[in-house]
Amino acid sequence: ARKFFVGGNWKCNGTTEEVKKIVTTLNEAKVPGEDVVEVVVSPPYVFLPVVKSLLRPDFQVAAQNCWVRKGGAYTGEVSAEMLVNLSIPWVIIGHSERRQLLNESNEFVGDKVAYALSQGLKVIACIGETLEQREAGTTMAIVAEQTKAIAAKIPSWNNVVLAYEPVWAIGTGKVATPAQAQEVHADLRKWIHSNVSAEVASSVRIIYGGSVNGGNCKELAAQPDVDGFLVGGASLKPEFIDIINSAT
Ligand code: 13P
């Protein structure tokens, strides 16, 4: 059985006060135990220490990115070693906003995932097709290529969660239907079965992201290959608790 996973990607949002308020709301929430659902919130780098220090111990934190190799003369970057030094257990890598706005290639994302894992971080690796690609019927080819670029670089999938986030669903209010999400997740699992191993195919968590909210999460969570969510906008709001509770 794959443990349900709910990630909150706060993106480039928040002030110290706002961040503290979200943490207070989360800390007071009644949710299933860590044995049922793994909850990971991802504030911007600068808020990681304060969030980590205030957040309830059964929830974890993630960075939204990290540098592709060992730190050094890379102005503006934050290294995997630094995250480890701060006891930040998770990092999101390959988010579509970074792929699109910062031109991160499949290969670069694969290298980053591999380096982060090598330093002991756990990785939420993001993939997903654009609307154009979906309409052209190339969804599976695109996500397979993105997954392959990661698979080629990593020795183990133990510390990886794969986040399927169709670009057309991110921040648009156009959530994938449960059937659309299930189809891609099942195909990804098949791809992993053929190209990685049967063990990884059955154990790796594939989570969905893109306009998930308190109203649509239940039906998505009921799909057999949807193992959780990566939530953007709604992770800044109290309804994030409803999304966590869709685990049961
Ligand atoms: P929204 O939930 O705001 O659509 O964002 C999804 C996302 O990009 C999570 O990483």
pLDDT digits (tens, 9 = 90+) for 132-184: 999 999 999 999 999 999 999 999 999 999 999 999 999 999 999 999 999 99
pTM equals 0.98
Question: Which residue's alpha carbon is nearest to atom 1 within ligand 1?
Answer: 232
Q: Which atom of ligand 1 is nearest to the CA of 97?
A: 8
pLDDT at 1: 86
Looking at residue 186, what DSSP letter applies?
A: H
Helices (H), the chain: 16-28, 48-54, 80-85, 96-101, 106-118, 131-135, 139-151, 178-195, 198-203, 217-221, 240-245
Binding pocket residue ranges, ligand 1, CB within 6 Å: 9, 95, 165, 170-171, 209-212, 230-234
Q: Compute, in angstroms, the gap from residue 83 CA to the centroid of ligand 1.
A: 23
pLDDT in tens, 234-247: 999 999 999 999 99
Is 193 tagged catalytic?
A: no
* The total number of residues written for the chain in this structure: 248
- Concerning whether 95 is annotated as a catalytic residue, the answer is yes
**Interface predicted TM-score of the whole assembly (ipTM), two decimals:** 0.99
Mean pLDDT score across all residues of the chain: 98
DSSP 133-183: HHHTT-HHHHHHHHHHHHHTT-S--TTEEEEE--GGGTTTS-PPPHHHHHH
Q: Exactly one of 38, 95, 97, 185 is catalytic; name it.
A: 95
Atom of ligand 1 nearest to the CA of 212: 2
DSSP code of residue 119: T
